[in-house]
Amino acid sequence: SQTIHQWPATLVQPVGSPLSLECTVEGTSNPNLYWYRQAAGRGLQLLFYSVGIGQISSEVPQNLSASRPQDRQFILSSKKLLLSDSGFYLCAWDQSGSSYNEQFFGPGTRLTVL
């Protein structure tokens, strides 16, 4: 069966510090991978998605970047965090070519920027 991992689970960082969140998927190959941010009282916002190694698409201009160094690894980074980067970050995957593209989410990372 497939599983998706995210770490860390929680993170408190000062403004201006760097960020690295990691997501890995097990039990599947060549998944589509996604990074979302969920702010309080708002719907999930798609930040990045990737259909393959080294292929990253950005949905919104921001202070963040993403990388996919391996087939089942997706990393969200920032060189200098802003207060507005606080939120709940979710990684998700689905299988390319499936009729529904049912999406499976990781447990999330709660980021607080102080």
Partner 1 sequence: KNQVEQSPQSLIILEGKNCTLQCNYTVSPFSNLRWYKQDTGRGPVSLTIMTFSENTKSNGRYTATLDADTKQSSLHITASQLSDSASYICVVSAGAGSYQLTFGKGTKLSVIP
Contact positions vs partner 1 (CB under 8 A): 32, 34, 41-46, 49, 57, 59, 88, 90, 92, 94, 100-108, 110
In angstroms, rounded to a whole number, what is the distance separating the alpha carbons of residues 28 and 70?
13
Task: Rank residues 52 and 79 by Cβ distance to partner 1 and give the closer one.
Answer: 52
Shortest distance, CB of residue 72 to partner 1, whole angstroms? 16
Shortest distance, CB of residue 100 to partner 1, whole angstroms? 5
Shortest distance, CB of residue 80 to partner 1, whole angstroms? 27
The closest alpha carbon to 16, from 100, 89, 80, 83, belongs to 80
Alpha-carbon distances of 84 from 37, 44, 81, 93, 98, rounded to whole Å? 11, 15, 8, 25, 35
The closest alpha carbon to 13, from 76, 72, 74, belongs to 76
Task: Rank residues 57 and 80 by Cβ distance to partner 1 and give the closer one.
Answer: 57
- Joined together, the tokens standing for residue 8 give 């860390």
Shortest distance, CB of residue 21 to partner 1, whole angstroms? 13
Task: Rank residues 55 and 79 by Cβ distance to partner 1 and give the closer one.
Answer: 55
